[in-house]
Amino acid sequence: MLQQDNDILLEMAHDIQDTYGYIPEREITQLAEKFSEPRAKIYGALEFYSMLYTEPTGKYIVRICDSISCFLHDSDEVLEAVQDYLELESGETSDDKLFTLEVVECLGHCGEGPVMMVNDRMYTELTSGRAIEILSECQ
Amino acid sequence: MVQERKFLKGPRLRNPADYDFPGLQRALKMEPEEVIQEISESKLLGRGGAGFPTGTKWDMAFKEEGEFKYIICNADEGEPGTFKDRYLLDERTLKVLEGMLIGAYVIDADYGYIYIRGEYFKSIKILQEALEEAREAGILGENILGSDFSFDIKLVRGAGCYVCGDETSLLNSLEGMRGQSRTKPPYPISKGLCGCPTLVNNVESLACVAEILHQGASEFATMGTEDSKGTKLVCLSGDVNYPGVYEVEFGSSTLQEIITDLGGGPRKSHDIKFVIPGGLSTRILTRDKLDYKYSYEGLEEAGSSLGSGGVMVVGSEQDLTAILTRIARFYMDESCGTCFPCREGNQQIYKIISRVGKGKFTVNQLEIIEDLGNAMAEAARCGLGQSAQYPTGTILAEFKEELVEGAVY
């Protein structure tokens, strides 16, 4: 799939997602037309990436790192507290569409673990209490 | 007492108005061959993890001919325990840009991409602004710094996929496909992005290039050992008092000294159980093997490798099975699924380890994990599968007594 310098599928997908919060089917159809590719191929490419969503997510995407360095600073306790508070397992979205919870691999803040991202904001050196405080402010 | 040697580190450098790009200025007055010569003389090795000589890579890229040529800055830093590229992108932004511009000038690249991991929202914002300002300041675009050299860069956000740090997966991802690895050869140097010659360099390598051209290869080569020149950004994390990014001159200290003097020793535990010395995909070193000099050859002698520079310290009171479970889950989750040894092997290893839970391994289970790891090392297509066995295999081998049911060794 040869692309022009400014037509990078990933970037276009990000832009669409920044607008709608996910990538709606009609946009996939348009991308397929733009790149002269079958819709399945575009859909298959987008589905590969864990940060791209083809279904609506919660208003707040909560990503918690449970990789080695964070685990050495008890990320498992933070994760458990957040799961209990949100009543969600990894990959699930709350019924009120407020939260989507994801357990993720390394977020590149290994020196400041445990870490959690809420949408594009990073919170470091968390405790369970602080994590819940942050989430309780998300309305 | 080990101290930092600041070569790459320095004050925040984001606004082109505050910086005159001395390395680039110098390079533009030289012939491309002379720049390559200088990089080769510095003996700079790629800082992304594989340690390939940068001068050689640039020379190959220089000699390649194609309709288009590309240069890519690999900023898809995702190796667990590694956060040095983020430091450079955030704080030394223009040095990275400068290294990339020098590379583009040398190989006569038509266009450049910075592929950055999607989770680095802050770095993305900083880079977007820096690129825009660089265009306004005439550092990007037509006739850069008044020379004949024209070039521009596009920032591309990844989307949560570790394997895209592998250069062939990164290329597929840029081309709008799933980020699955390609078979090599052909290497990206000859057939990369859209089949054109493509030079892919790590963020830290490019920052090194900018400093080498600024301060000179001879200055760079005064630091370090015979085989490891210069400095390395070490990311200290895990059970240490003062985690962070430290710049260490090669050969100046041992891992133990780095952990004790810079990291302040273990925080929670009495003692160190083991260290993962170069990002997750390296063999562990037990505490009796921490007295080798911190250099490419030193860590190889110790039985591991320098990798990406992510040093993770595991304290003596940590639960090994919980760590193994997380390592196995990482490789299972991040496998791109193209080649079956990696896809199936990592799933089976995760199944076995998570089944053990808080219990003990049987000898048979250890053998199966070892077999699977060896098969992946032999048959997996890219580095992810090939190196998946390093941390797991070495933890199982070193701590058999602790992990195996009724073990008598």
CB contact under 8 A, B160 and A76: no
Residue B4 covered by a domain? no
Predicted confidence at residue A5, as pLDDT, reads: 54
Q: Are strands A99-104 and B70-75 parallel, antiparallel or unpaired?
A: unpaired
- B93 and B189 in a single domain? The answer is yes
Amino acid at B403: L
Termini Cα distance of chain A: 42
Which pair of structure tokens corresponds to residue A78?
């933070």
Tokens of B98: 């400068």
> Do B78 and A120 make contact, defined as CB atoms within 8 angstroms?
no
A72 and A110 share a domain? Answer: yes
Number of domains in chain B: 3
**A53 in a domain, yes or no?**
no
Q: Which domain holds residue A123?
A: 60-136
Q: How far is B217 from chain A (nearest CA, A)?
A: 31
| Paired residues of B343 in beta bridges | none
Nearest to A14 among B157, B176, B314 (CB): B157
**Contact list, A63 vs chain B (CB under 8 Å):** 119
Nearest residue to A67 via CA among A103, A102, A101, A105: A105
Q: Which residues contact A29 (CB under 8 A, 6 or more apart)?
A: A39
Integer angstrom CA distances of residue A127 from A62, A123, B2, B149, B269: 15, 10, 32, 52, 19
Q: Given CB atoms, is B275 within the 8 Å cutoff of chain A?
A: no
Is residue A69 located within the same domain as residue A127? yes
What per-residue confidence (pLDDT) applies to A117? 97
From the list B162, B178, B236, which residue is nearest A111 (CB)? B236
**A2, A52, A107 member nearest B119 (Cβ):** A107
The verdict on a CB contact (< 8 Å) between B80 and A67 is yes
Round to whole Å and give the CA distance between B160 and B166. Answer: 13
Are residue B179 and residue B81 in the same domain, yes or no? yes
**Among residues B315, B331, B365, which one ends one of the domains?**
B315
Is the pLDDT at A51 greater than 70, yes or no? yes
Of the candidates B292, B323, B309, B296, the one whose C-alpha atom is nearest the C-alpha of residue B394 is B323
Distance between CA atoms of B346 and B358, rounded to whole angstroms? 20
Contact at CB, B175 and A1, closer than 8 angstroms: yes
Q: Residues with Cβ < 8 Å from B318, sequence gap 6 or more? A: A72, B239, B269, B273
Could you say which of B83, B119, B326 has the minimum Cβ distance to residue A110? Answer: B83
Among left, alpha and beta (phi > 0; psi -120 to 50; other), residue B335 is beta
CA-based nearest residue in chain A for residue B112: A5
Domain stop point among B173, B202, B221:
B221
Q: Which residue of A has its CA nearest to B333?
A: A105
Confidence of residue A4 (pLDDT cuts 50, 70, 90): very low
**Same domain, yes or no: A42 and A98:** no
Q: Taking CB atoms and an 8 Å limit, are A67 and B330 in contact across chains?
A: yes
- Residues in Cβ contact with A49 at an 8 Å cutoff, skipping those fewer than 6 apart: A10, A13, B118, B158, B159, B160, B161, B179
Interface contact A68-B326, CB threshold 8 A: yes
Domain end (from B315, B348, B382): B315
Give residue A50's pLDDT. 96
Adjacency order of strands within the sheet including A99-104? A99-104, A60-65, A116-118, A121-123
Task: Name the closest residue on chain A to residue B153, using Cα atoms.
Answer: A5
Shortest Cα–Cα distance, A127 to chain B (Å): 16
Task: Round to whole Å and give the CA distance between A46 and B68.
Answer: 27
Rounded to 5°, the CA angle B222-B262-B43 comes to 25
Min CA distance, B38 vs chain A (Å)?
31
3-state SS class at B298:
helix
Asked if B166 is an interface residue toward chain A (Cβ–Cβ < 8 A), one would say: no
Alpha-carbon span A129 to A84, nearest angstrom: 12
The residue range of the domain holding B368 is 320-403
**Test mutation, B72, B169, B177, B353, chain A, max A CBs within 10 A:** B177
Residues of B with CB below 8 A from A72's CB? 237-239, 312-315, 318
Give the best residue of A70, A72, A76 to mutate against chain B (max B CB count within 10 A): A72
Residue B409 lies in a domain: no
The verdict on residue B6 lying in a domain is no
Q: How many domains does chain A have?
A: 2
Asked whether the predicted pLDDT for residue A31 surpasses 60, the reply is yes
CA atoms of A109 and B117, how far apart (whole Å): 13
Percent helix, percent strand, percent coil in chain A, to nearest 5: 45, 15, 40
Give the C-alpha separation, A75 to A82, whole Å. 10
CB pair distance less than 8 Å for B121 and A122:
yes
pLDDT at residue number B2: 87
B85 with B204, same domain?
yes
Residues B217-253: b if buried by 16+ CB within 10 A, e if exposed: beebbebbbeebbbbbbbbbbbbbeebbbbbbbbbbb
Please list every residue in chain A whose beta carbon sits closer than 8 Å to the beta carbon of residue B394.
none
Query: Cα dihedral angle (B85, B282, B221, B104), rounded to 10 degrees?
Result: -50
Contact A88, B197 (CB under 8 A): no
* Residue A3: per-residue pLDDT: 41
Tens digits of pLDDT across chain B (409 residues): 889 999 999 999 999 999 999 999 999 999 999 999 999 999 999 999 889 999 999 999 999 999 999 999 999 999 999 999 999 999 999 999 999 999 999 999 999 999 999 999 999 999 999 999 999 999 999 999 999 999 999 999 999 999 999 999 999 999 999 999 999 999 999 999 999 999 999 999 999 999 999 999 999 999 999 999 999 999 999 999 999 999 999 999 999 999 999 999 999 888 999 999 999 999 999 999 999 999 999 999 999 999 999 999 999 999 999 999 999 999 999 999 999 999 999 999 999 999 998 889 999 999 999 999 999 999 999 999 999 999 999 999 999 999 998 655 5
Residue (of B156, B150, B153) closest to B171 by Cα position: B156
| Residue A16 sits in the same domain as residue A81 | no
Task: Give A1's pLDDT tier (boundaries 50, 70, 90).
Answer: very low
Residues B69 and B213 in one domain: yes
Residues B276 and B213 occupy one common structural domain: no
SS3 content of chain B, % helix, strand, coil (to 5): 45, 15, 40
Length of chain A: 139
Of all residues in chain A, the one with the smallest CA distance to B244 is A111
Rounded CA-CA distance B243/B263 in Å is 6
Supply the CATH number for residue B269's domain: 3.10.20.600
Does A18 lie in the same domain as A71? no
Q: How many CB pairs under 8 A join A and B?
A: 139
Tokens 């997602």 map to which residue?
Answer: A17
Put simply, whether B89 touches A (Cβ < 8 Å) is no
In a mutational test of the B interface, the residue from A1, A6, A48 whose CB has the highest number of chain B CBs within 10 Å is: A48
Could you tell me where the DSSP H helices lie in B271-380?
296-302, 320-334, 340-356, 363-379
Is the Cβ–Cβ distance between B356 and B321 less than 8 Å? yes
A50 with B77: Cβ contact below 8 A:
no
A116 CB neighbours in chain B (<8 A) are none
Kindly provide the b/e burial profile for residues B124-151, where b requires at least 16 CB atoms within 10 angstroms of the residue's own CB: bebbeebbebbeebebbeeebeeeebeb
Measured between CB atoms, does B263 come within 8 Å of chain A? Answer: no
Residue of A nearest to B176 (CA): A9
For chain B, the straight-line distance linking the first and the last C-alpha, in angstroms and rounded, comes to 38
For testing contact with chain A, the best of B79, B83, B131, B245 (most A CBs within 10 A): B83
Cβ atoms of B201 and B153 closer than 8 Å: no
pLDDT at A2 over 70: no
Three-class secondary structure of residue B275 per DSSP:
strand
Residues B147 and B275 in one domain: no
